[in-house]
Structures are given as C-alpha cells and as structure tokens.
Structure 1
C-alpha cells in the first residue's frame, strides 16, 4: 500500500532497488524516520524505470500472461503509474527484441516463437470470388469467406484487393499490379466449382502463388495449392454420430461431376459398408440451393418405399438433407425417433436448430487461406504446393439424438 510523503522538510530520499521500502531523512532532526511504503516508479530515474517496465513486460510475454496483444497504452500507464513517454520507450524495447509488432488500429500483437515480422515484405492478396449470383447459400458463404480473410489480413498488415470473378477485364488489372510489385498471391474461389482454365493458366504464367478452396482433379493438384475441409474426416465423424441400430442411406446428386461429391461417396462406402446410396439419375443437373432442396424433397418422396425405417439419412450436402427432412415432416414420420437426418455443409440459413450437420464455415476457410499465404509466402513463390485440410465441426440439431 502506498503512503504519501511526509512534509516538505523530508527532502532526502534513500531507496533500495530490490525492495519497495524507503527511509526518509529528516533534515531538521538529523534522524532517519520509520520506513515508508512509497511508489517505486515515482522515485526511479527515467532510464531505470522504462528498463524495469520493459523487463517486466518481457517476462509476462514469455510466460504467456497476455493472450494475443499487449494491454493498451492507457492501461499500461495506469498499471505502472508511469507517463506515456516511459511506456512508449518500454514497448520499443520489446519491438527491438522482435517480441511484439504494432498493428495499426489493433495494438501491439505478441509474436509467436518462430514468427519473424521481417521475413518478407508486406504482401497484397488478390481475391477473385463470385459476388453476383442467385444462389443464396453461395452468397452467404462468399461473404463469410471474405470476412475471415480480411480479419486475418487486418491483424497482420496484409493488403487485400477483392475482385468480382464475373468481370472479364480484372485479370489485366492484376497483371498491371504484378508489374508494379503489388500483388503477392492470388486466391481463386470459383462459382459452383466452374474453373476458368484460361485464368489459371495466365496466373501460373505470371508465377504468382495461386490458392483455391476446393478439391481439384488430379491434373491440377500439382499446380494449385488448396485449403479445404477433409471429406474423409467428415464421413468418419458422421459414422460416430449415427444410430448403428438403424440402416444408413446417402442421398446424392444426380451427377457426380465434382471431386468433393465423388470423395464423399467413396468415404461413405468405406465407413458405412452396409449403407445404401439413393439418387435420381433422370434428373437434370441442379444449380442453386433452392433447386437442391426441392431435389432432396422429391428424392425421398420417390424412394420412400426403398427405405427401411428406422433409418439414418445423410444428405451429400445440407440442402438435400433439408429437403428430405421437409418431406418426412410432412409425412409425420417421427424425427429423430424413426429417422435421424444429417447434412454436410453450412446450415445456418437452413437449419433453424432442426437439422444436424457437419459444418464447414466459410470464415474459417478464409482465415486459414490468408494464414497459409502469410506464413509460407517464400515457399509459395518458389513453387511449393500446399494441400491443407481443416477440421469440420458437428452442429447438433433436433434431427438426431
């Protein structure tokens, strides 16, 4: 506890640097008065004070007393009872030791052990993503993806440029920026997996690191890095969530055009060897969430006689599972008593706490895409290819026990 100094005649201060006890010399009486507890920082010279604060902050950083950022400057001034200049000098010591880095608008971020803020110059990420379409699910996903990407970039001083993939002239802008050394990497999020081969070819010719978020055919896997969710892990996780006393069915799309569809079917067969696959090959290829919901509704309606209840029903994506659930609710088949239903993919817009699903958040994908670029830029520029698989999460709804 701090106490005020005695009256003005107590002018000579003796202090010990290792204990916060001070004797006050009384010039009138010539005697040392009793010990007083005083503010250690108020009697310490400036150089000693900021070094002491810097050492204390360094110890707290190394012992993980702070989470991601140092406390704000006003908080540090209050805690150490010191002036702004003193705190600034102490924080500068930590910056010089590469323990922290200042991020504009966010504060002083604590660097990880192997993180070196000077390992590469600031980079600009060019994001090509579909923004003009009628599919509500893709619209929601795109903005969640952008939110995750920009959040990471903001925290790590990375510039980002966002381009609508539908604009044909945008590639010329990227090429012009590349000549000016502005663009460091390209992130490509095609609409419904429709890859523009010409776009990919030109980007690779420019020797720009290129990353996408979808499973690729074998011919592209050696050319493009990917960040995506593991279909193997998704099916394995579902195999642990189902009721094993029930027979299991997988509702699939009419055409298995994309890699993710074929992979989910492959791993369904692996983890559900007694399971059955249901689809309608006579249906034309579907586009858009609402069409897929209707397809799931009609698919379960057409094949109801082939399903042996009680049953587990897995939709190859969340929209199909949601459509199937709507039909079963209409038929008043008890859920989850007689049938448990599971989707795969983001269900925030559809779920309403009803449908259980393996979630694949767009925010997480965007965040990790930017992180891969930031932490591996040198390797990416040298041609190294990364294939990162993220962990999905199970979101339990009322459609499963």
Structure 2
C-alpha cells in the first residue's frame, strides 16, 4: 500500500509538504502542489482517515446504536439523524444491539475505541451499568428512546400520547378498555404508555381491570396471542383495546377478525407509531405519530450543540399527533 512517505519520496518533497497539500493548509507552490496531486492520482493513494483523526483529534464520524435495524421507527430516526449530520459534514457508523441490553454497553465501549466524535443511542433500557459506562465517556453523548438521568435525552411524550388516545376511546363511549403493553423495564414504551392509559381511566372514574391488562413482545404474533388471552380471560369482554405499538394492534386485529368481531362495531382498536402498515390494514388503524424523523434530527442537533458549543439542555421532549382513522 502506498504511504504518504512514498508520495513524498516520489515528489522529492518532505512528508510535511504532502500533508499540507492533503489538508489544504499552509503554503505550497503551485508547481509542487500539481506534482504531488499528479503522483497521488497516478498511485491511487488514499489518505488514512484514522491517521487524519489522530492529527486533527476529529474523525467527523458519529456512532449510532440501534435496538433493531428492521423496525420502521429505528429507520426513520436514523434517517433524521443522518440527514441532519450530513449538513455539517458528518458520517454515521451504525451498530445493532438486536434488543440485547448488554450489547448497548458493549457498543458504547466499541464506538469509543473507534474514535468517533460522538454517540447517539436509541436506548431500550436505563440500567445503572449502562449509565455508568456513559458517564465514563469523554465524548459527547445523546440518548433517544429513553430519558436518562444526567444524560442529554431527546424523548417523546409517551405518557400524554397514551392518555390522549385512551381518552379518545372514552369520549366515543367506551368504558371497558383493554391494554396490550410491553415489559415495563422499557420505561418509555412499557411504563409511561401504561401509566398514561391508567391515568385516563382513573380520571374518568373507570376501573383498571387486571384481566384486561396484557404484556407482549414487540411482534405482531405477540399482539395476536395477547389479545387472545385477554378475550379468553373472562365472560365480560372489553369493547376497545389500546396497544402500545402498531404491530401489537395489528396482531390483535387479526385475532378479532378470526373471532368474527367487527372493528370498530364490536371492538375499537388503537396502536402507536404510525407505521406504514397502519395505513393499509382494514380498517385503517388509529394511531399516534411520534414524528420519528424529526426526533432523529433533534437528537443530531443536540449532539452538534455539544460538539460545537460544549453545552446542551438535559431533556428535549418531542410532540406527537393523533392519526384518527377507521378502527375507532
């Protein structure tokens, strides 16, 4: 492989002169510059970005840690991140934890060793071990997906969104509303969305029935099986279901259809996330749009603020919008 030292030898100049040409810094005569550039072109020399990063203390690369590459939410957030960072000359390096909390910690360490300028984590947990690792970092860090104590975080208003969509069902006359959630160790999706649902029921003097509270995984199949458990749990059936993701709602929809139940005539149904699927199922699914691309862009802007100014707000909350469709 051709090195800078070899380029300097062929051009009969010092390595420092080649470096000035490559970095467009310092004076180099036109004749010498042209000679060096011609040799670079002829040899196909590619400067080492790692070496450049060591010299400038900047790699212009931001590490992004994802919980799952295949989800629409993650891809939308990444799109928002990459578009915003590209405006400022940054590239992104993606890693995928596949929903394994231990890998979040591993990738924080890995990206630090890759000398990225900063890290954005789409977090699924807020464990102490992860927080400790983040606090050891000497580079800018932003979390999204979960609010983290003492860490700049860009989050959605999950509590209010779940409360509002539950209130929407109550306004439609529903009094027996089931809930399909996920594990509450996922603080934003599991805990806060359930808390919003419960708050809406309690403020309207409606009971929170344990028999109608389901806990699922993040899959359509789990939405189906959880809806089945809820409807088989007692003789009295709910007239509406709040699901914390669109995938869970679509799984529940399939179960309800198999039982010959009409949506929304017999059972109203809502999801969250405004996935593409939500527009194409029948009936079209009422859901919450959490503005994922905008969320990603705001996470990138927050990281850039830290990089450029050294300061950042601790928490930035992104709004949402209800997408009221045929399923209610």
TM-score, length-scaled by structure 2? 0.65
The residue aligned with 1:175 is: 112
**Unaligned 5+ runs, structure 2:** 1-57, 98-102
1:155 is matched with which residue: 84, 87, 90? 87
The residue aligned with 2:11 is: none
2:228 is matched with which residue: 289, 298, 304? 298
Larger radius of gyration: 1
**Unaligned 5+ runs, structure 1:** 1-120
What is the deviation of 1:356? 0.9
Counterpart contact for 1:296–1:319, Cα < 8 Å: no
CA RMSD, aligned part only?
A: 3.4
After superposition, what is the alpha-carbon deviation per residue over 1:206-245, rounded to whole angstroms, capped at 9, x for unaligned?
33222122234xxx412x2211210233034325533442
Give matches, 1:89-108, under 5 Å: none
1:357 is matched with which residue: 284, 287, 298? 287
Tell me, in whole angstroms, the C-alpha distance in 1 between the residues paired with 2:319 and 2:213. Answer: 35
Tell me, in whole angstroms, the C-alpha distance in 1 between the residues paired with 2:252 and 2:316. Answer: 32
Tell me, in whole angstroms, the C-alpha distance in 1 between the residues paired with 2:244 and 2:181. Answer: 7
What is the deviation of 1:199? 5.4
Structure 2 CA distance for partners of 1:267 and 1:248, relative to 1, 3 Å? same
Counterpart contact for 2:162–2:197, Cα < 8 Å: yes
The secondary structure found in structure 1 opposite 2:173 is: coil
Counterpart contact for 1:185–1:209, Cα < 8 Å: yes
With a CA cutoff of 8 Å and minimum separation of 6, indicate the structure with the bigger relative contact order: 2
Tell me, in whole angstroms, the C-alpha distance in 2 between the residues paired with 1:300 and 1:293. Answer: 11
Counterpart contact for 1:124–1:185, Cα < 8 Å: yes
Counterpart contact for 1:254–1:282, Cα < 8 Å: no
Structure 2 CA distance for partners of 1:154 and 1:264, relative to 1, 3 Å? same
The residue aligned with 2:120 is: 187
1:340 is the counterpart of 2:268:
yes
Aligned length: 260
After superposition, what is the alpha-carbon deviation per residue over 1:279-317, rounded to whole angstroms, capped at 9, x for unaligned?
66998x754413422333323431462335xx3321233
Determine which structure has the larger helix proportion and give its number: 2
TM-score, length-scaled by structure 1? 0.55
Tell me, in whole angstroms, the C-alpha distance in 2 between the residues paired with 1:315 and 1:167. Answer: 26
What is the deviation of 1:186? 1.0
Counterpart contact for 1:296–1:322, Cα < 8 Å: no
